[in-house]
Amino acid sequence: MLVAADGADGLAPLAPYDRIIATCAVPWIPPAWIEQLRPGGVMLVDVRGTMSAGNIAKLHRRDGDVVEGRLWAEYGGFMGMQHELAVHPGRSCPTDTAHTIERTSVAGPEVVGGPDGPLAFFVQLHLPTGTQLRQAGEGDDLVTRLVAPDGSWSDVSHASDPSHRYQVVEGGPQPLWRMVEAALERYVALGRPAWQRFGITASTSAQHVWLDSPDSGLTWPIAETSFP
């Protein structure tokens, strides 16, 4: 059966389903998918944030409107779900250039520039909801740029100096690259966790990522955001 409809709404007339396989990426799990999955059913869904970092998760429906499971050990992904009425968070947000800080950092653009790796996913969890990853300039002036909805931004050069440090320029109310550096330090301290150490618990009202086990105490919320 083929139906042309908004995928985020699922297909209620034929629910409940034993299996749901989403061949598109979503920044958070649509509540309709959870509601329409039969208790004991399984969902495969590519969960990735606005920096495009994420992976496919295998989630099982528990009692109540809750799904839970781990991310795949290997990377996999799909094109993002397109939502005709959504405004992508941060896409049109201006950057605050009134006050800028220039410095160097041992963290280079590869920390956030590898959306198929768990490091970029982990860092994304520590940045403001809706933060966008972009590139600007070219050649020796090429930079990776982060932009948050509140106007905070940071540019990090792709070229390092002789001491292997990268030029950073940032502005706005929040120091985005400081957050990246702190997340990198925490990632290393946690033993550089691989994909399969991460999991997701999601209900129709709240969703979060966890490390190692749902009750480990290491959790990060997945905020409800617009689809691209």
Domain residues for 43?
7-86+194-221
Determine the Cα–Cα distance for residues 110 and 186; give it in Å rounded to an integer: 16
Q: Is residue 40 part of a domain?
A: yes
Same domain as 133, residue 77: no
Q: Is residue 226 part of a domain?
A: no
Q: Is residue 67 part of a domain?
A: yes
Q: Is residue 107 part of a domain?
A: yes
| pLDDT digit string (tens) for the chain, length 228 residues | 788 888 888 989 989 999 999 999 999 999 999 999 999 999 999 999 888 899 999 999 998 899 999 999 999 988 888 764 444 444 455 566 777 899 999 999 999 987 688 999 999 999 999 999 998 888 878 999 999 999 999 999 999 999 999 999 999 999 999 999 999 999 999 999 999 999 999 999 999 999 999 999 999 999 876 544
Determine the Cα–Cα distance for residues 113 and 13; give it in Å rounded to an integer: 41
> Which amino acid is it at 49?
G
Q: Is residue 105 part of a domain?
A: yes
DSSP SS3 for 73: coil
How do residues 56-75 score in pLDDT, each as one tens digit?
999 999 988 999 999 999 99
DSSP SS3 for 121: helix
Strand locations in 100-197, DSSP E? 100-105, 132-136, 143-147, 153-160, 166-171
Strand locations in 31-75, DSSP E? 37-48, 54-61, 66-71
Same domain as 181, residue 207: no
Q: Is residue 215 part of a domain?
A: yes
Q: Is residue 95 part of a domain?
A: no
Mean pLDDT taken over the chain: 89
Say which CATH number the domain at 184 has.
Answer: 3.30.310
Same domain as 40, residue 81: yes
Same domain as 173, residue 106: yes
Same domain as 40, residue 11: yes
Determine the Cα–Cα distance for residues 181 and 174; give it in Å rounded to an integer: 13
Same domain as 185, residue 104: yes
Sequence-ordered list of residues with C-beta below 8 angstroms from that of 10, at least 6 positions apart, any chain: 20, 30, 32, 33, 35, 36
List the structure tokens of 2. 């083929």
**161 burial level (CB within 10 Å; 0-12, 13-18, 19+):** exposed
Sequence-ordered list of residues with C-beta below 8 angstroms from that of 165, at least 6 positions apart, any chain: 104, 105, 106
> Which amino acid is it at 68?
E
For the chain, how many structural domains are there in total? 2
Same domain as 209, residue 182: no
Same domain as 52, residue 104: no
Sequence-ordered list of residues with C-beta below 8 angstroms from that of 2, at least 6 positions apart, any chain: none
Same domain as 199, residue 185: no
How do residues 141-151 score in pLDDT, each as one tens digit?
899 999 999 99
Same domain as 57, residue 39: yes
Task: Say if CB 180 and CB 111 are below 8 A apart.
Answer: yes
Determine the Cα–Cα distance for residues 101 and 94; give it in Å rounded to an integer: 18
Length reported for the chain:
228
Q: Is residue 91 part of a domain?
A: no
CA distances from 134 to 50, 143, 148 (A): 11, 9, 11
Same domain as 176, residue 113: yes
Same domain as 206, residue 183: no
Dihedral angle at the C-alpha atoms of 59, 186, 164, 120, nearest 10 degrees?
20
pTM for this entry: 0.88
